[in-house]
Amino acid sequence: MERKISVPDMHCEACVKRIENALRAAQLNFTVSLEEKTVTVDGCENCLNTAIAELEDLGFTPTAM
């Protein structure tokens, strides 16, 4: 199941790379859209919570959609 996370403070490619590196390290299946300012996580509720925690650790303000 795909779950979207809004990341309104993702502004540039450097942000995207930081997010991608963190979510890869957490072994999540995901896609990042700078245009939409979203991260889409493929997986269960636990995967969503892990992604949100990783984004918060990076200093972003994620919100599940």
What's the CA gap between 3 and 11, in Å, rounded?
Answer: 21
State the pLDDT at residue 44.
86
6-49, pLDDT tens digit by residue?
A: 999 999 999 999 999 999 999 999 999 999 999 999 988 999 99
44-65, pLDDT tens digit by residue?
A: 899 999 999 999 999 999 999 9
For 9-29, letters b (16+ CB in 10 Å) and e give ebeeeebbebbeebbeeeebe
